[in-house]
Each structure stands twice: as structure tokens, then as C-alpha cells.
Structure 1
Amino acid sequence: METIYLSETANPLLISYLKAQGHLVQLIRSTRRTYEPVSSHPDIYFCSPAPGHRLFRGQPDRIGYSYPQNIIYNAACTGKYFIHNLKYTDPELLRCVRDMRKIHVSQGYTKCNTVVVDEHSIITSDQGIFKACRDHMDVLLIRPRHVKLSGFPYGFLGGASGRVENTILFHGNLKAHPDFGLITDFIRSRGLKPVYFEEFELEDIGSILWEP
């Protein structure tokens, strides 16, 4: 059975949807190894080397409490490209992705700020990620903010989403995002289906991580 890793703060509607699709849902509990708003976020502890691949499991005792010690696994990977602030990437993770092309960015919370659509396509609101990646792949640059994250002024769309099979799932009401049309058109143009929940606000929960 395929497993979806979610923060314990994920909305019950998303959890019910995933279970109805036949997925096993594994909730990540707060560990207090890092500050509370992101302590239960899967993308702090795991890294997906590519959509539909087995997750890289980090060692919790290597994660520091504050930035940048808490972002050592928070890379965005498409299967072909590995995008992160390479000054802080965990060496074990780098060995795991040694065959991928590395792209260095300043944004340490790279996965949080990146929706990985497919091997050659991403969505981000970060100018630095956009500029570093646009010559290598298709990048949709969207407006920042418009995503809730408890304890912070705002969160990121990458942390409010994830690919599951042939869908890009969003944790909340993507329709409320000012770039809704651009986002959904970009996803559909890659042969994928956007799925979102109008019943609650778009919220960053540390990504929706899928492991077949």
C-alpha cells in the first residue's frame, strides 16, 4: 500500500480524501527538535528524490533547532535536478542524489517554496529559485504569500502541496490564490490534475510526501 506522510496538523478533509483513495496516511508528530511551527513538517525529516520514489529518511538527531541547522533535508528534487542551499545539505543526502544535477539556491527552505510538478517543471514564489532554475527547466513564478503558516506571517505553496500519482494535491483552497489560473493551467499542461479543498484556507503543512 502506498504511504502518504503528513503533518499531524493536516486538515481531516485531506486525510479522509487520501484514505478514500486507498492510501495509508502516516502522521508526523511534533518532535521539538526544531521550533514548533515546523516541528511536525515531513519535509524537515524526509526528502523525496523524485515523485513516486522511496523517500530519503533523515536522522532526526542531526536536525538543529533553528535555521539553517533545521533545513539540511529540505531540498526540492525532480529526479533530474537537486535544488537546495548546498552549503547546508546533509552529506548523506548528497550521496543519495549524487547522480542528479545540483542547483544551488540561497533559500534554505527550498522544498517548502517549491511545488515539484514533474522532472522538468516546478512552481515557486522565490525569485532566487526561479533565476537559478529557469535555464534548466520550466519554472512558473507565482506571487508570494497567500498561504497560511501558524507562527509566521505566511507560508509557502510547496509546503501546502505535493504530488500523489497523477495529481498535484493542495492543502486548502487554491482558488483563493491570485495565481490560481496560472497554477492550474501549468499543472494540466503537464498531464496532471490539480486537486484542492475549498472548505478551508490554503495552509503550509510541510509538504504532502508520497511513497509508493
Structure 2
Amino acid sequence: MHMLRLLRVTSRDGQTIMAARALRAFAHSAASVVLAIYLDIRGFSLAEIGLFLTLGGFGAAIWALASGLIGDTVGRRKMLVLISLFTAGSGISLAVAPAYPILVVIGFIGAFTAMAGSSGATGPLEQASLASTASPERRTEAFAILGIIGTSGVALGALAAGIPNVLQAAFDIDEIRSYQILFLTYSVVNLLAALLYASISPNVEVNNLPTRWMNPIKLKSRR
């Protein structure tokens, strides 16, 4: 109940952003825990696995840079949706496991990082958008809640990484197929996150925010 009251520090848009962050953190944490194991089973060498993760990290960095440079021009919601769709595509490519060069390119574009639960390229956009959903004196709480929700998603996602073993034992599914199911689920969850981002109102866009400057030193304390 207390957590539900805390969620009210933001508008519906803020709550939607938090829900999307939870989904992405959960999915990415689960997938990142088993990724190296899965690629090894598929026959990729240690160097190939390392290169895939390295390029995925670079992809996330480039997306984050692009978010900062053109996010407000293109639109925060559009960028959030686009990133989530590319991320979903990387999950599908992992499940299908095409030729290695194709897999690496898709992993780069999809920004699949090795950091479990990383907010990745969506982080700057989420935080910038979240700031407009809470009053100045409640923004610290809003960011704290976003962090708590993201970390909780990471923890639950790490636990969910054991799902392939459960599928193998309970339904006699072969090892590779069980991991493919996990990565397809990863894609579905990111598609759900994209739908959540798409439902955010235009109020989070920079052109719809008040332009009045506010001195942070003169903000009144709640206490």
C-alpha cells in the first residue's frame, strides 16, 4: 500500500514510464544471465561471444548518444518506442541465431548489452520524460521510485533466468529450444514496453513543457 501511495508522486505518464522500465529491466536481466551460455551451446567461440557483447554495448552507447542529441527533435516517445522495437528484434535474432555476421549487426542495432537489467539507451529519455510528470519538490522521490522499480525488475529477471531449466525438466524440452523460448519472451516483453511508451501523452515532449526558468536553490522544501 505504501508503494502504491508513492507511485502517486507522478502522473499517469510517469507511472507508465515506470511500468515500461520494470518490463525492460526484467526481460534484459533474464536474457543477459543466460546469453553467453546459449551462444556457447549454439557453437559460437568465446571470442565471437565477447565481440557480440562488446558491439551490443557500443550500440547501447550510440543509442544513448542519439537520444541526447536528437531525442527532443524526433520526439521522446517515438525514440522510446523505436529503441524498444529494435531491442525486441535483437531477441528474435537470438532465438533464430542466423549467420554470425547478421547476428552481430542485429545485436549492435538492438543494443543488447551484457549489463543485466541495464536501462541502456532508454535511460536518458525515461529520466527526462519522468521529470515532467512530477512537481519539482517530488522529483527526487519519482527518480528514487524509478530506480527501485528498475532494480526490482533486475532481481526478478535474474531469477527468471532459470526458466529454461524448468521447461527442460517439466516439459522435456530440449536445451536450445528452452533458451529460444526465453529470448522470444524477451522480445514480447519489449514489445509490451513499446506499447506502454506509445501510450504516453504528448505532455512529456519538450515542446509541451513550461519554459519558465526555476531557480533550484529557491525551491521550497516539503519540510
| TM-score under structure 1 length normalisation | 0.23
Greater share of strand: 1
Greater share of residues in helix: 2
Higher-RCO chain (CA-CA 8 Å, sequence separation at least 6): 2
TM-score when normalising by structure 2:
0.22
